[in-house]
Structure 1
Amino acid sequence: MNFTRINGLAFAFSAIKYIRYNQDFTKTTATKTTDPRPWLGLDGLVLALVCLLFLILATGDGSGNESDARLVLTTRRRRVQRRLRILSSVPSALIVFLLGLILCFIRDPTIFSDIKLGPSRFHVLKITWDDFKVGFVRGAVPQIPLSVLNSVIAVCKLSGDLFPGTELSATKVSVSVGVMNLVGCWFGAMPVCHGAGGLAGQYRFGGRSGLSVVFLGLGKLVLGLLFGNSFVRILSSFPVGILGVLLLFAGIELAMASRDMNSKEESFVMLVCAAVSLTGSSAALGFGCGIVLYLVLKLREMDFSGFPFFRSKSEPTAEDESLINP
């Protein structure tokens, strides 16, 4: 799917910015990039590059290390396959994430005093009519195109590409997203969705079954119940360079997962969508331009002989046919 590939490229471009430049996430403007990231330090370029090389050595190109059983493997090739299996079994993403957590405490030791054990208190919010109008007009309406594309359509298409024969239903995914947000908003939860980038990242780092998502959910529940809101204090000091490295792999996997570019026409539409989406415009505008371009291309190939306005006044003669088809 074109949008899946474009979304992956957008993730990758953002990841490169995270790696190369410092980010100020407190800004309310679209541009959060500040000065170039220093080479040395606990959030420097050297650290990010080391994590990048480690992930490449551990996961390779993400295609897996299964060898063709029909091939006769030499002794040297068997050793290589054994080494690749060992490397692929290393939880590389988890190791990099834990390294980032350790660096959080080293960079800012005051985190220890700010940590409070135990879950945060739940309370039901009172949502007024004014809150609903502001949230619907400023939040929901602008987000609908991106949410439908990235959280529903792209997820369904990506699941079919990564796990052939198991493509999800768009209705079930959209209902799931709606239910999560309808329940969570009363407790002050942030909007959530089934992002295609998350699915691609989990697949890239070894997730192949629903059990991996179960463990991920259990881990988040444990952290939330153990640290509560104080865990946000830890994540605020997480090295952005390492975050960019993890995001880069997720974006590249998302872009590579779309394998349905079977013609030059499809590639042309995809590149136009990418050019519009990734040059300061929105993904929704890029998607809209892609739809219009696709319709124009189909209109160009349409047979209009059935319409009276385009119908020829005289049928071609045998002489005309011989000139056309000698």
Structure 2
Amino acid sequence: MAYQNPPSIPISDPEAPEITPTPTPSTNPLANGFSAKGVANKVKNNLVFHSKWGELNGAMGDLGTYIPIVLALTLARDLNLGTTLIFTGVYNIITGAIYGVPMPVQPMKSIAAQALSDTDFGVPEIMTAGILTGGVLFVLGVTGLMQLVYMLIPLCVVRGIQLAQGLSFALTAVKYVRKIQDLPKSKSLGQRHWFGLDGLVLAIVCLCFIVIVNGAGEKSRGCCDVVESGGDDDLGGQKRRNEVVERNRTRWVRKVIFSLPSAFMVFVLGVVLAFIRRHEVVHEIKFGPSTIEVVKFSKHAWKKGFVKGAIPQLPLSILNSVVAVCKLSSDLFPGKDFSPTSLSVTVGLMNLIGSWFGAMPSCHGAGGLAGQYKFGGRSGGCVALLGAAKLVLGLVLGTSLAHILKQFPVGILGVLLLFAGIELAMCARDMNTKEDSFVTLVITAVSLVGSSAALGFLCGMVVYVLLRLRNWTKDKPLSTIWMQKRPEQV
């Protein structure tokens, strides 16, 4: 019997059923033609909120990864924060309009890690790495080679990358909560105090609040069903009517609590605490956008950007920004299956344009998509709202916004990042066979210990091939043992 990967299990919906979008037959931006009216209607539908509070809350789901990386590069490598906010804000709005789901725009993590660990890897090297990475992804997209890559990578390998990335986020989040952080140097400075405006107690309270409101992501909010009262006028009938009133009151209270924008409220609390922790920051704010200039590149910057930036980033971008995002989007949004070609092209164009002007190299990411979905993001309006906020902040405050973010409680950032990581890691729960689980866990272990998604991917593919060869029998040709999937899984 041919070995088959198990069908994927859709991730459970943390919001009420009423905000779950109705599946559409196609979400390919090119599928419905190029008529102006058709494009306008599609953009309008993609940006419609499915839930006002849910979309607002979901917009906060990716800040746990975005703020620490961008802030660290701004303070340590003089990244132009204002330019980065303006360009990534535009990216958010455009991707939200194109895809109609909370498609994230995240900093390229491998390039950021290299910049923070190497003092000679400055802004020119960061930007050349982004341009080269974007160029390769754009070529893979327009030539159709990315679709081939997507088809050849098994589901269990994708799940391994997702599990490793999710656990990496979760471990980093716990570190943010437990220990005081120097974000520009990516170092821990000792145990965090229990009390204070950035203490353990504050982080634990925020974590418990989000758990109470969002739960584990179940569809049912646990609201009690309304019980019809009897028509008797006796004591028993009155008792039943009292029970109905009490149940309706309980149901209403639960509905109000479970519809609160928990992540947004926690983020606003963090902003307020940032001003309280150092009120002098008000005098350091300068209004007006930062100057947008073309970055000057040297031959050395191109060479170093390619060797130390683009080469390590490419495997991560292909796996986590394209392949994993395609798979996760089909899990979270049934009927909205995005092509690897379109995602590869959008990531490529973002960096081929913005990196010339000093905007941080960006990509999509499965972790950001999972985090925004976890907190209620369901439409492109979610990330468009976030993009509009970034655009306004970039135009009004520019780089001076870094003074505010520097005072933002890191423990609260850790809480937001923790939920994004857990949601992404839970995608691997549909590995129902021992062989698939084995491959997934090998990739996860190697990726976490070796701190390299590319190394984990390589080891996972080797193990997968060995397991497939082990199942090869005389009555089964070699061509049938690679991807034993049903057509809808390809």
Q: TM-score range by the shorter chain?
A: 0.7 to 0.9
Percent of aligned pairs with the same amino acid: 56
Of 207, 224, 239, the residue aligned with 1:52 is 207
TM, length-normalised to structure 1: 0.86
| Range moving further from structure 2, 269-278 or 138-147 | 269-278
State the match for 1:298 in structure 2. 468
Q: Quote how far apart the aligned CAs of 1:87 are.
A: 2.1
User: Alpha carbons of 1:115 and 1:276: their partners in 2 closer, same or farther (altered >3 Å)?
Assistant: same
The 2-side partners of 1:108 and 1:172 are apart by 45
In structure 2, the residue matched to 1:312 is: none
Aligned partner of 2:448 among 278, 297, 305: 278
Unaligned runs of 5+ residues in structure 1 are: 308-326
Write the distance in 2 (CA, Å) between the matches of 1:128 and 1:155.
Answer: 34
Q: 1:82 to 1:139 in 2, by over 3 A?
A: same
Alignment of 1:170-209 (within 5 A): 170-209=340-379
Corresponding residue number in structure 2 for 1:227: 397
> Which residue in the other structure is 1:3 paired with?
161
What letter matches 1:36 in structure 2? Q
Which position in structure 1 is the counterpart of 2:176? Answer: 18
Displacement of 1:226: 1.3
Map residues 2-151 of structure 1 onto 2, 5 A cutoff: 2-27=160-185, 32-65=187-220, 73-74=226-227, 75=244, 79-151=249-321
Computed over aligned residues only, the root mean square deviation of the Cα atoms, in angstroms, reads 2.1
**Secondary structure of the corresponding residue to residue 26 of structure 1:** helix
Question: What is the letter of the counterpart of residue 391 of structure 2?
Answer: L
Distance 2:422 2:247 in 1: 28
What's the offset of the Cα at 1:269? 1.2
User: What are the ranges of 5 or more consecutive residues in structure 2 without an aligned counterpart?
Assistant: 1-158, 228-243, 478-490
AA partner of residue 211 (structure 2): I
Shift in alpha-carbon separation, 1:245–1:67, aligned structure 2, 3 A: closer
Shift of 1:153: 1.0
Deviation at 1:81, TM superposition (A): 4.3
Instruction: In structure 1, give the amino acid aligned to 2:348.
Output: G
Change over 3 Å in CA distance of 1:210–1:232 after alignment to 2:
same
Q: Helix, strand or coil for the counterpart of 1:14?
A: helix
How far off its partner does 1:127 sit?
2.3
The 1-side partners of 2:293 and 2:311 are apart by 27
Tell whether the 8 Å contact from 2:165 to 2:421 is kept in structure 1 after alignment: yes
Cα distance change of structure 1 residues 49 and 211 upon mapping to structure 2, 3 Å threshold? same
Question: 1:2 offset after TM fit, Å?
Answer: 2.7
Q: Are the equivalent residues in 2 in contact too, given 1:23–1:32 (CA < 8 A)?
A: yes
Query: Structure 2 counterpart of 1:32, which letter?
Result: K
Structure with greater Cα Rg: 1
Q: TM-score, normalised by structure 2?
A: 0.58
Shift of 1:5: 2.2
- What is the count of residue pairs matched by the alignment? 302
Change (3 A) 1:176 1:306: closer
Q: CA deviation at 1:284?
A: 1.6
Which residue pairs with 1:164 in the alignment? 334
Deviation at 1:232, TM superposition (A): 1.4
**Structure 2 match to 1:318:** none
Deviation at 1:165? 1.5
For the 8 Å contact 2:446–2:456, the answer to whether it is kept is yes
Q: What is aligned with 2:485?
A: none
Deviations 1:274-321 (A, max 9, x none): 2212224322211211111111111111125799xxxxxxxxxxxxxx
Partner of 2:17: none
Greater relative CO (CA pairs within 8 A, separation 6+) = 2
CA contact (8 A) 2:221 2:258 kept: no
- Contact preservation (8 Å) 1:152, 1:170: yes
Residues 120, 229 of structure 1: 8 Å contact kept: yes
- Give me the whole-angstrom Cα distance separating, in 2, the residues matched to 1:79 and 1:153: 46
Q: Provide the C-alpha distance between the structure 2 equivalents of 1:263 and 1:79, rounded to a whole number of angstroms.
A: 45
CA positional deviation for 1:119: 1.1
